[in-house]
Structure 1
Amino acid sequence: MRDRRWTVVDLFSGAGGMSWGFHAHPSFRLAAAVDAQKSKPSRSTLACNDTYQRNIGIVPLDRDLQSISPEQLKREIVRTTAVRRPTVLLACPPCTGFTRTLPKNHREDDPRNGLVGRVAEFTAALKPKIVVVENARELLRGSFKAHSRQLIEALEEMNYSVHSATYRLDRFGLPQRRERAIIIAAAEGIPLRTLDDLWRGWRVDPKALTVRRAIWDLPDVKAGETCPTDRSHTSSNITSDVLERLRAIPTDGGSWISLFRTPETERFATPVMRSSYIAGRMNHFSDVYGRMAWDAPAPVIKRECSHVGNGRYSHPQQDRLCTVRELALLQGFPRSYDFDGSSRQNSYRHVGDAVPPLISHQLAWVCNWMLGGKRPRPDQFILPDTTLLPQDVLEDNAPMTEQLAISA
């Protein structure tokens, strides 16, 4: 029997965060995915394609989207899938060159930023009906937003209608203060819909957005240990010095600044902490070695989240880094998502690099609506097996302008 589901191609597919939202939708079929699995220079492969295959069931093409020609990529997709024109093209280029967390991004245009423009070239070759792009908010607001303007102009020249916006994703149920740029483009004749349209008249109960709600019921594990019933519930090893430092930081939202409250705890401060404290720079890297707060959303989960010194990634109460599973839940992954257990550090990167599936599933429903479906109900567009439940979505009759002001 012919498969009548709409086809999806995912470029820069990573461990499958964007793909999973469409994979979980009954009207879509992932036809192809592409990722070069590149880590930082001199490091080994990210091995994200293995994680993608394990969860979604197809083997991504290991191709460098910076160098392959659009026509060559199209030939490979047609040869392996027989799909000549995908219905939806997902394209989430690396955000490392845009994100404001790296100071150099305010003055240097990272070569990887040029991949945004390549999305238009791949669109011209594949001719999808819908294009969805997700990236750091600086794609639209930052020093090098010209890349997004050029992409939008190129799509409009191909007669796509385009909507671009930045969103705080906790507005849509992600238990994390994550702000991202989303671009949706619709081919001629297809009505353009957005996340604003999907959520008009609805809002999320704030009680559903906390760290406690997301991870409170997971078994206790020690630093460096793995839960015997879930290989993704595992955290990085930490040295004895780091462990003592973490134990001296108050539970439930504490930070390194608290180390200076007594002489006994001050001895655990690093030289950088000490110099910052003396200079009165209390906000200088304030999140490093910080603990998450139980009754607040998580901070932004970034790519390098595999060490307590990289951000506020420590457990609210236990003396360790949050596990891969805990961060994955806070990143909107289903509880059953299986991360590669062969490299714990890669698993952390897979989580931090990902588009939250809780959000990509909502984007899938937006695309379904655009392609002729009806506007979905919350019980349809809430991704099962995640931290957000249908009963967490409440009616909200506030005008959209008010909702946007609240989320900002």
Structure 2
Amino acid sequence: MVNISAVDLFCGAGGLTHGLRKAGLRVNVGYDIDPVCEFPYKYNNKAEFILKSVEEIKGVDLVKHFPEDHIKVIAGCAPCQPFSNYSRRYSDRASGRSFYHSSKWKLLDDFARIVKECMPDIVTMENVPQLQQHEVFEKFIIKLKRLKYFITFYEVNCQDYGVPQTRRRLVFFASKFGEIDLIPPTHDRDNYETVRKTIYHLEPLKTGESSKTDPLHQCSKLSALNLRRIRASKPGGSWRDWPEDLIAKCHTKSSGKSYSSVYGRMEWDSPGPTITTQCFGFGNGRFGHPKQDRAISLREAALLQTFPEKYQFFPPNESFAFTKIGRLIGNAVPVKLGEVVGKSILNHIQQRS
């Protein structure tokens, strides 16, 4: 039997690691700069957590996590905000810096540096599809090809693999042994996972309430105005369905008319929207519950990210920062997508055995 060990850079709360483990890979350690990640990562994955920036990690740090006779895998998901369309249009413009010279891009450069210093057998990365459009990604590929890696990458519709979201992601592989094929889709339009299948069974909540049996099943409190707005909202609709007196002034301007997906309700029998770091806010996207007059809870967001229902994000009987946990959930790689990555790597290794 082939022995495989993995290290997860930018590990967050453990979505990618949990998926890799479900596929059958052993993940020895996760690195992240956010101390809030430590409990969920260690508790749910029984792996070591190291609080350290990728900029400070050296190849020699990672080598010690790999037994000599194991195939070595480095996995990671560099924070995707630098590559998003929003960041490209606004963030660096506002700071007065050139977008392509932003320090945010250095994370991918550091990832390539670590690969060169450690020379694992396999590298995998998950990110937003927009990354393909940027020079930094081309340079990343060139660097790894110079190290004699075989490169493949795929733009994945996550619905095709059982993730109940309209979410597209870039999945990247590099291997010393040959090109890695992504496993075939497991779902199609006839059997996509839906919001109903994913969260319908959870107990009803009112705005601002928390479950007595599951503290993560807690939703943010709506203002009186937003409560009126959600009551006027239809599943799959938008603020355009509201009476005129409920419409925000910013949406009456030409610059705001295109933002039709904010202040929206999900639909029971469709996949949900892409879960983001602001998924607990009704006004931040189509994050209204399909039936109940509230935004989705943190547990519902985690389930839509395909975390198991028993996945713990904070120590039992301890209070937690709602927005920080929401950020961890929104930033996570969907567990089922991590499992797809793991199965693709295992197939690749088995084919060469």
Checking the alignment, whether the CA contact within 8 Å between 2:13 and 2:41 is kept in structure 1 is yes
**Pairing 1:359–2:321 present:** no
2:349 to 371, 382, 385: 371
Aligned twin of 2:237: 254
Deviation at 1:321, TM superposition (A): 0.8
Q: Distance in 2 between matches of 1:178 and 1:21?
A: 17
Matches within 5 A, 1:5-404: 5-26=3-24, 28-37=25-34, 47-66=36-55, 68-71=56-59, 74-75=60-61, 77=62, 81=65, 83=67, 87-102=72-87, 103-104=89-90, 108-109=99-100, 110-141=102-133, 145-187=134-176, 190-195=177-182, 198-199=183-184, 203-204=187-188, 206-250=190-234, 252-260=235-243, 266-273=244-251, 275-276=252-253, 279=254, 282=257, 284-340=258-314, 342-372=320-350
CA deviations over 1:335-359 (Å, ceiling 9, x no partner): 2212226122122111110111101
Provide the rounded CA distance (Å) in 2 between the counterparts of 1:97 and 1:82: 31
The question of whether the paired residues in 2 share the 8 Å contact of 1:140 and 1:165 is answered with no
Q: Quick one: which amino acid aligns to residue 258 of structure 1?
A: D
- Distance 1:225-1:203 versus aligned 2 partners, 3 A rule: closer
Amino acid at match of 1:88: V
- Aligned alpha-carbon RMSD (Å): 2.5
TM-score (norm 2): 0.89
| Percent identity for Structure 1 against Structure 2 | 28
Aligned-pair CA distance for 1:134: 0.6
Tell me by how many angstroms 1:69 deviates: 4.9
CA shift for structure 1 position 286: 1.1
Q: CA deviation at 1:333?
A: 1.7
What is the alpha-carbon distance in structure 2 between the residues aligned to residue 17 and residue 184 of structure 1? Answer: 18
Could you report, residue by residue, the CA deviation over 1:206-229 in whole angstroms, capped at 9, with x for unpaired residues? 333321222112111122222222
Q: Give the structure, 1 or 2, with the largest relative contact order (CA under 8 Å, sep 6 or more).
A: 2
Distance (whole Å) between structure 1 residues aligned to residue 194 and residue 86 of structure 2: 23
Question: Displacement of 1:332 after TM fit?
Answer: 2.0
| Partner AA of 1:298 in structure 2 | G
Query: What residue ranges of structure 1 are gaps of 5+ in the alignment?
Result: 38-44, 261-265, 376-408
Mapped partners of 1:217, 1:161: distance in 2: 45
- The C-alpha deviation readout for 1:136-177, integer Å capped at 9, x for no partner, is 111113xxx111111111111111000022122112221111
Q: CA deviation at 1:304?
A: 2.2
Distance 1:324 1:5, change over 3 A: farther
Q: Give 3-state SS (helix, strand or coil) of 1:181's partner.
A: strand
2:63 and 2:118 in contact (8 A); partners too: no
Instruction: Judge conservation of contact 1:140–1:166 (CA < 8 Å) in 2.
Output: no
Number of residues of Structure 1 aligned to a counterpart in Structure 2? 341
Does the Cα contact within 8 Å between 1:31 and 1:83 map onto a contact in 2? no
Cα distance in 1 for partners of 2:126, 2:33 equals: 18
Which amino acid in structure 1 is aligned with residue 224 of structure 2? S
CA deviation profile, 1:291-331 (whole Å, cap 9, x unmatched): 11122211111222231111111101111111112112222
Give the aligned residue type for 2:184. W
